Structure 1
Amino acid sequence: MKRRSFFKKSAGAAVAASLMPLGAEAVASKQDIGVRTSDKWHHLGKGKSEIPNRKKKVQYEVVVIGAGIAGICAAVTAARTGAKTVLINDRSVLGGNASSEIRVTVNGVQWLKNEHRMERETGVIEEFQLENWYYNPQESYPVWDHVLYDYVTRQPNLDVMLNTQALEAYMDGSQIKAARCWQMTTETEYTVEGQQFIDCSGDGLLAATAGAEYRTGREARAEFNESFAPEVADGWQMGATLMMITKDMGRPVPYYPPSFTIKYEAEKAHDRKIKQIKEGYWWVELGSDDDIIADQEFNRHKLMGYMHGVWDYIKNSGNFPESENIVLDWVGSVPGRRESRRFMGDHILTQKEMENYKHFPDAVGYGGWSLDEHNPGGIENLSEPPSYFHDKFKQVYEIPFKSLYSKNITNLLFAGRNVSVTHIALSSTRVQATCATMGMAVGTAAALGVQKGVTPRQIANEHIDELQEQLLRDDAYIPNRPARDSKDLARKADVLFASSTTSGDVKLLIDGVSRDEIGKIHHWQSRGLDAEVRLEWKKPVSISSIELKGDTNLQRAIHMHKNPLKNKDQVLGMPPELIKACSAQVRVKGKWVDVASVSNNLTRLVKMKIDPVKTTAVRILLKETWGAENIKLFEIRCYS
């Protein structure tokens, strides 16, 4: 439904009227909203009147806007790579579409048409998902919010600003110098200066005000030779969805729909069968054929009406007697968005490149969710199916770095649904775990840009190998790009052997690929616990860091679902294959010396920092898993 039609709806008239302009006299005359001149504050404690300080300036090296899954991964990675970083979010909780406010499942590469079916994403996104199962076995979404908050706020080098909207970019030519932000809860205007800016906000207001080139809508089929694109370009963008959760009261409970309910015309609905009544329906969705951002509040109001309309149909149509004892327990008020602005980079990723599995020399991420384009109009277009699952992939496709930064703003990067892809390509790349791979890539790139004093484009053209190596070291996966880090001393070991082997080969621990691929093994697995892996060098080497990549079964889901019944086929806790306890020794003057010990480990990437020592041998003692009988490793690295 177009925006102008909304005013004809009686249920929406009051909302529409409340948003009418109030006249020029009601608009603040000062553009600088943080400066107060008429704030009549009498401070009783100080015994005097004063003007509150509501304007501040802060400085960072990397500024990340938007704390969804992509933004969290970008900010954490930038901070870990050495940049002083701030993560700015316009809401009270982290996680974006995955937060308790919206509750979209963190999907990624799954349903592949090969023997793996799933090729789970590792690195930062895996870390906080595993922590969630450790700290939140009750599968509570509000607790998930706090797990994310703890994970992010404890990271060194990283500050977090919540309830803060980035309103506009301050520019110096084609470079962003600062973000003008408004923190609602403190009534404070912040000027956030930075060297590199990453917009992970989805809608991309900061990037838009910077003048970054973007497009919206659907490309014509001929522009990129995309078979699933429309014949003629148009303005349609995939819509937003509101979710709900129910519970069983154990007794009959009636349902009385609110006044804003919009009747659900089930008899007209194509492929929208009510198959369960536990959770909400992703097809309660509204898009736009024009300015989807301007339409958001109108669409939100209607979505609430449609959501209650579907539930009214379930409870009161008489077609679902099993709903007699079922009530709404949680209903969303914040729609989960799928599409708006797509900012243009030096490359636009297309359907054809993804389906042909094009290899990009600058690949930094990957995807594999099916081409899943939701229909124009959403629930207001009942004659068409809610989504066109155009195609499933046989293997993962690569995401190039040149699609993750602005083509015309020199220090601006992107991760998430606002990156440089076509509308059809977005139908796959938009899922959150895929966005997480982009987040790690741009966070790393931004930090490298600060260290080297270069732009993202220069990273792409002159330092892409270094960016890829850092990502691989940090447990990202890049298809068709094995690690070959010349600084890794394990690759230079003269002898590498293990105490026992049941599958794989200990020499595969330095082959540069830290997961098994289709038809290719890249692991070593012990026979039983208390296993040992040893590295020997003919000449002494200086060691200060030992890094392992263990097993978390990357072909098994670990995401939490808003409906716990859908988690029943997963391991509801730490992966049993994961290393729980290990230690390291070095040989000095012919004697083994204990240098590091890890217990209660929660991460696939295990880092053991030690005091620098010269040695001719390192011994890794693998003691315990979270339940598996054998210990599996995919990689060992050593650094001075």
Structure 2
Amino acid sequence: MKRRIFFKNTLKGMMGASIVPLFGSTSAEEKNDSKLLKNDSKKNFLPKDQWNKMGTGKQPRPDRKKTLEYDVVVIGGGAAGMCAAVSAGRNGAKVALVQDRPVLGGNSSSEIRVHLNGVNHLKNGKPERETGIIEEMLLHNRFNNPQDSYPVWDHILYDFITKEKNIDLYLNTSCLRAIMKGDEIDAAYCWQLTTETEFTFKAKQFIDCSGDGLLGATAGAFYRTGREASSEFNEKFAPKEADGWQMGSTILLGSKDMGKPMPFEAPHFTKKYDAEGAHKGRNLKPFELGFWWVELGSDDDIIGEFEDNKHALMGYAYGVWDYLKNSGKFPETENYALDWVSSLPGKRESRRFIGDHILSEPDLLNNVDFKDAVAYGGWSLDEHNPGGMLNLKEPPSYFHDDFEEVYQIPYRSLYSINVPNLSFAGRNISQTHIALSSSRIMATCALEGQAVGTAAALCVKKKVNPRKLGEKFNNELQEQLLRDDVFIPNRPAKDAQDLVQKASKIIASSTTSGNPQLLNDGWSRDYKEIEHHWQSDTLPAQIQLEWSEKVDLSKIEIKCDTNVKKNIMLRRDSLEDKIYTTQIPPELMKALDVEVRVKGKWQKVGTISNNKTRLIQFDFTSVETTAVRIQLHETYGAKNAKLFEVRAYS
């Protein structure tokens, strides 16, 4: 049978979704095709055979459609989306996590390989590393990916997400539009490429962590793109006049020493690199990991131009490599060959949604203290040259300012001003272009994700939308985040349900620094040079909590030390220095027990011999007691145990 006839028949009647063109035959065409089929002496096919499933004789149609209901739908599987999904799920919501790529991780995935930066360093040179869910992921990687493999990192994240019982993960699934019911989102209409399936995900709350924000945009959520005028928010680093420039996307590459001369012939799409006309800040050494500044921005539609920009970026990336290999100025590249080149540029900026508060440069530089703070940042104001490779004479980035201390991010910047059940986290939050130059960093986005995921679960429980949650239940949201090991600057925990707050005394077997009484002061890290910990002077060691009256206990929660002054993220260079490490934090507690005193006798209610998280939780059958004893046996290398917080709940 001729291919023309085959396609006419097989495509007839395909799904009527807006994402694919409709193919169909007129009645005359059908008759003509049937006649041709009957006259085909070699193939005795009938028209109905176009749908025939030979194994069963059934005739399924290819218009696969599913409508599914959840409490929370999260669009985007980068750092922000993963943390949003996990936090919502752990707080009781049934969650769909929808990711348009075959892997999780966003810009940190093996497809792009950007370092998962956060508050890596302040002006004092020290990090103020993020804890909570993003730290759990990084620790999971340290335990299971010591070889620092990016393809393995993809599967570390897959393992981390799929073990959460309240999350259904949909990979290779693009969100195409919002389906509205009044001014709220009723469902997200999605297409899964690999299964040719249309998904309609209905939910009470939606979180757009996709970066570009198509769900929010098609819902009619207000947003802006480009750079604000300096006068609008009193931003000294903004341009005098507003314009459309957005920071660009980057293609990264990697090379490998092959131990012998490796000639390089540039492909036809290569764009010659003008090294003589380039700013001195465009360093060509070290060259092994490529260059973050091979990027292209836009002063118009950066999303619509993405494929054109990608093609151009491929040329620019190969042009830089061609210059290194063939200009004769870098003989050290003789034995090097390209080992990996990204085919998916990493994005920095496009839509920024508008919330009840627009985070701006003065908020960051003045360290504004927000009553509804739920996250923090501290990467420098790092505004990349908007022209990118089209503006080589300018520096690749304008590092406007560094921070003395971390700044707060308010909840009011994480939900839509006009779509009541829409939240967002990541680079698309409610902020100015200049604020984005700092807060776009992935670990900061992850903290925003945990905040909105927790908030979405509370919204479902309270039967309210984000704005009302922030107005009426702000304290409950912050307390839950703090309990889940999120650090909020200037905001100590004050959980009235924590029974340790009612303990008559806390005593330790030994102390080398800090004080055991600090374990219930509300702070989960040392902050601003003030101690908020207790540290033993040897191991084993123990902490004992006493109550003057009996209490019912069923849960003990402990926050131990992972040295937040050192970064544990995956890096392509496996850097080991004063700030970065590839090792499991030696300070992390490995083995410990919990005992309760009942009628004068100690009973063990929990034991962990291979702990892998900073937040350690013991759940046990409710018991009436007057004392708890925590036996600390072993760390991953430190000679002393250090704890920051102990909580107890009935």
The TM tier, using the shorter chain, reads over 0.9
Spell out, residue by residue over 1:303-340, the C-alpha distance to the aligned partner (whole angstroms, 9 max, x if none): 00000000000000000000000000010000000000
Cα distance in 2 for partners of 1:211, 1:67 equals 22
Matched, 1:378 2:378: no
Cα distance in 1 for partners of 2:231, 2:556 equals 52
Query: What displacement does 1:105 show?
Result: 0.3
Cα distance in 1 for partners of 2:621, 2:163 equals 24
Matched, 1:397 2:430: no
Counterpart position of 2:218: 209
The one of 171, 176, 184 aligned to 1:162 = 171
Cα distance in 2 for partners of 1:623, 1:34 equals 61
Query: What displacement does 1:34 show?
Result: 8.9
3-state SS in 1 of match to 2:119: coil
Query: What displacement does 1:570 show?
Result: 3.6
Q: How many residues align?
A: 615
3-state SS in 2 of match to 1:49: coil
Cα distance 1:220–1:34, how it changes in 2: closer, same or farther (>3 A)? closer
Query: What displacement does 1:567 show?
Result: 6.9
Spell out, residue by residue over 1:387-431, the C-alpha distance to the aligned partner (whole angstroms, 9 max, x if none): 000000011000000000000000000000000000000000000
Query: What displacement does 1:48 show?
Result: 3.5
**2:205 partner amino acid:** Q
The one of 339, 343, 348 aligned to 1:333 = 343
Counterpart position of 2:377: 367
3-state SS in 2 of match to 1:150: helix
Q: CA RMSD in A?
A: 1.8
Counterpart position of 1:504: 514
Matched, 1:106 2:116: yes
Matched, 1:243 2:232: no
The one of 474, 477, 502 aligned to 2:484 = 474
3-state SS in 2 of match to 1:619: strand
Cα distance 1:124–1:269, how it changes in 2: closer, same or farther (>3 A)? same
Q: 1:263-274 residue pairs with structure 2 within 5 A?
A: 263-270=272-279, 271-274=281-284
Cα distance in 2 for partners of 1:526, 1:56 equals 56
Q: Is the 8 A contact 1:34 1:187 kept in 2?
A: no
3-state SS in 1 of match to 2:142: helix
Query: What displacement does 1:527 show?
Result: 1.3
Cα distance in 1 for partners of 2:17, 2:192 equals 16
Matched, 1:429 2:439: yes
Q: Is the 8 A contact 1:119 1:555 kept in 2?
A: yes
Spell out, residue by residue over 1:328-385, the C-alpha distance to the aligned partner (whole angstroms, 9 max, x if none): 0010000000000000000001101110100000000000000000112101101110
Matched, 1:41 2:51: yes
**2:602 partner amino acid:** W
Query: What displacement does 1:563 show?
Result: 2.2
Cα distance 1:222–1:147, how it changes in 2: closer, same or farther (>3 A)? same
Cα distance 1:470–1:29, how it changes in 2: closer, same or farther (>3 A)? closer
Query: What displacement does 1:564 show?
Result: 2.5
Gaps of 5+ in 2: 1-10, 25-47
Q: 1:80-95 residue pairs with structure 2 within 5 A?
A: 80-95=90-105
The one of 621, 624, 640 aligned to 1:614 = 624
Counterpart position of 2:450: 440
**2:83 partner amino acid:** C
Q: Is the 8 A contact 1:36 1:51 kept in 2?
A: no
Matched, 1:173 2:177: no
**2:325 partner amino acid:** K
**2:648 partner amino acid:** C
Q: Is the 8 A contact 2:174 2:191 kept in 1?
A: yes
Counterpart position of 1:602: 612
Gaps of 5+ in 1: 1-24
**1:543 partner amino acid:** L
Cα distance in 1 for partners of 2:602, 2:336 equals 64
Counterpart position of 1:625: 635
Counterpart position of 1:186: 195
3-state SS in 2 of match to 1:43: coil
Spell out, residue by residue over 1:484-538, the C-alpha distance to the aligned partner (whole angstroms, 9 max, x if none): 0000001110111111000000000000000001221000000111111011111
Spell out, residue by residue over 1:259-299, the C-alpha distance to the aligned partner (whole angstroms, 9 max, x if none): 11001000010121212121110100000000100000000
Cα distance 1:566–1:523, how it changes in 2: closer, same or farther (>3 A)? closer
Cα distance 1:503–1:103, how it changes in 2: closer, same or farther (>3 A)? same
Counterpart position of 2:264: 255
Spell out, residue by residue over 1:108-146, the C-alpha distance to the aligned partner (whole angstroms, 9 max, x if none): 1122113x6210000000001011011000110000000
Cα distance 1:45–1:568, how it changes in 2: closer, same or farther (>3 A)? farther
Bigger Rg over Cα: 2
3-state SS in 2 of match to 1:253: coil
Matched, 1:197 2:206: yes
3-state SS in 2 of match to 1:508: helix
Q: Is the 8 A contact 2:560 2:643 kept in 1?
A: yes
Matched, 1:141 2:144: no
**2:527 partner amino acid:** E
Cα distance in 2 for partners of 1:518, 1:47 equals 72
Cα distance in 1 for partners of 2:472, 2:465 equals 10
3-state SS in 1 of match to 2:194: helix
Q: 1:263-412 residue pairs with structure 2 within 5 A?
A: 263-270=272-279, 271-412=281-422
Query: What displacement does 1:599 show?
Result: 1.4
Counterpart position of 1:131: 140
3-state SS in 2 of match to 1:465: helix
Matched, 1:51 2:51: no
Counterpart position of 2:43: none
Q: 1:489-568 residue pairs with structure 2 within 5 A?
A: 489-565=499-575
Percentage identity across paired residues of the two chains: 60
**2:598 partner amino acid:** V
Cα distance in 1 for partners of 2:135, 2:61 equals 47
**1:264 partner amino acid:** Y
Cα distance in 1 for partners of 2:341, 2:402 equals 32
Matched, 1:67 2:113: no
Q: Is the 8 A contact 1:35 1:55 kept in 2?
A: no
| Stretch deviating more after TM superposition (92-101 or 568-577) | 568-577
Query: What displacement does 1:30 show?
Result: 3.5
3-state SS in 1 of match to 2:489: coil
